[in-house]
Structures are given as structure tokens and as C-alpha cells.
Copies of this chain bind each other. A is one copy, B any other.
Amino acid sequence: MSGTLYVIGTGPGSPEQITLEAQAAIAASSHFFGYKPYIERLNLTPDQVAVPSDNREELDRARAALALATEGNTVAMISGGDPGVFAMAAAVCEAIDTGAPEWRGIELIIVPGVTAMLATAARIGAPLGNDFCAISLSDNLKPWAIIEKRIRAAAGAGFAIAFYNPISKSRPWQLGKALEILREVLPSETVVSIGRGVGVHRGSIGHQALSEVKAETIDMSTCLIVGNALTRVIERPEKPDLIYTPRWVPEHG
């Protein structure tokens, strides 16, 4: 008997930034995995069961959810933002790839959501208005040398760069090093958009020149978007600045 596993993106934090599809998937599910703050936002009914998973590693959490689904349950794995962007969708796929054969028979439905960089960008203008990339600064699962290589490649080729997981207690130096690399490659006045607390509530938004950004003022709930050399600041009387990366690149840009 094989059930269903929804992997649901609930959006970047504000309750109104969820999709109708995600709401319907939540209503259809009986058991809920995910970080406690995400689950608590859902207003579950009395017959819906939250499965505590605070201290579980992502792959273990994925396996527990798949095991519960194979018993015929409709299980939800809740991600903030979009589940495919540095969240649970890849862990679930890896668990299926390496796990029990019957897990391949589970109905797997991944429900996309608005990821943090899109919400951050929307709050300040259009800093991702040209080609861009997303890099997680967590080196828990990939060597730091790869992250350095990707930062250099992306900045050197003129991508705007959104950084996820910029800093944490166990990863205190990585963002500072990333900023050092960016300062070698990009002009010091390159515009960096900084969205704070975008993952849990609407948070705050601002911008700084690349030369001014201090890693110690950033926390793990921050999304940084580093512009390219063409990214511009629009000043507005009595309104916050707008930041955008132009759609165009000049010849020999």
C-alpha cells in the first residue's frame, strides 16, 4: 500500500506569499514534517499530525517521511521558500535514489513556492533583472574550494549573485571570505541588496556598496544579492531607494 508525499514550498515567510496549490496540498495531508517554525504557521486541524523533526538531519527526515508514506499516509514535507532551492526536494530525491525499492512507488508531488531571493529582489526593485545565480555558502556538503570557484566564475562573468545560508555559528568565516573574493573581482561600489529576516517574516531590506558590507552584521536569515557592475541605485524623495540590474549589457560589457 503506497501513499503520497507532498514536498511543499510555503513561500518566503509572509502568510500571503503562499500559493493556492500549496494551501490545497496542506489541506490534503495528514502528517507534517519540517522545521517547527514553518509547521507552526500552518494552523493545522486537530486531526493533522505534526511530526517533530527539529534535530533530524535532512536525509533522515526525508527517509522518515517516505517510510510513513509507504504505509498509505498522505505526508507533507514543509519547506520555507521553494523546496527545490537549497531545501528538502533534493534530500527526498536522494533518499528515494538510495533507499527501499518501494519508495519509488510513492506518489511524489513537489509544490513550488516563491524562494527567498525572489522575495528579497521584489522588495527592493529588480537586482536579478539580468542573468543571475544562486549560491549556498554552506560548506557542510561541498568543499569550500568549489564555492570559491563558483563565486569567482559567476562574478567574473557578470552574473548577479544571490547568497543563501550566508553565515551561522558553525560557519562563521565563509561569508567574509566570499566578500573578499568578490572585492577582488568586482568594483568596490557594486551594489549589494540585503534582505534580513526574509525567511520567517517580511523582515527589512537595504543596500550597501560591496566595500562596506561587513560579514558580522549579517545573520543566517539574511539573503544577500550582489549586483553586477551595471546594477544601479534610484534615489526617491521620501521613499526607499530602488535597486535594479539593467536588462541590457553594452557591447564589450
Please list the residues of chain A having a beta carbon within 8 angstroms of any beta carbon in chain B: 9, 11-12, 14-21, 24, 58, 82-86, 89-94, 96-97, 104-105, 108, 110-115, 118-119, 121-123, 125-136, 141-143, 146-147, 149-150, 152-154, 156-159, 232, 234-239, 242-253
Contact = CB atoms under 8 A, between A and B. Distances in A.
A253 B146 contact: yes
A152 to B, nearest CB: 8
A51 to B, nearest CB: 21
Nearest to A249: B142
Contacts of A97: 232, 234, 242, 244
Given A242-B93, A247-B91, A17 B20 contact: yes
Given A83-B122, A94-B244, A236-B104, A89 B133 contact: no
A98 to B, nearest CB: 10
Contact of A115 (B118, B125, B126, B129): B118
A121 to B, nearest CB: 4
B114 A112 contact: yes
Contacts of A149: 157-158
Contacts of A125: 89, 93, 110
Stoichiometry, as copies per complex, reads 2
A84 B159 contact: no
A90 B247 contact: yes
Nearest to A14: B21
Contacts of A157: 149-150, 152-154
Given A105-B237, A253-B146, A141 B82 contact: no
B122 A253 contact: no
Nearest to A20: B16
B105 A236 contact: yes
A82 B153 contact: no
Closest CB pairs A-B (n = 6): A90-B129, A133-B133, A93-B244, A142-B249, A153-B157, A89-B126
Contacts of A133: 131-134, 154, 159
A248 B104 contact: no
Nearest to A11: B19
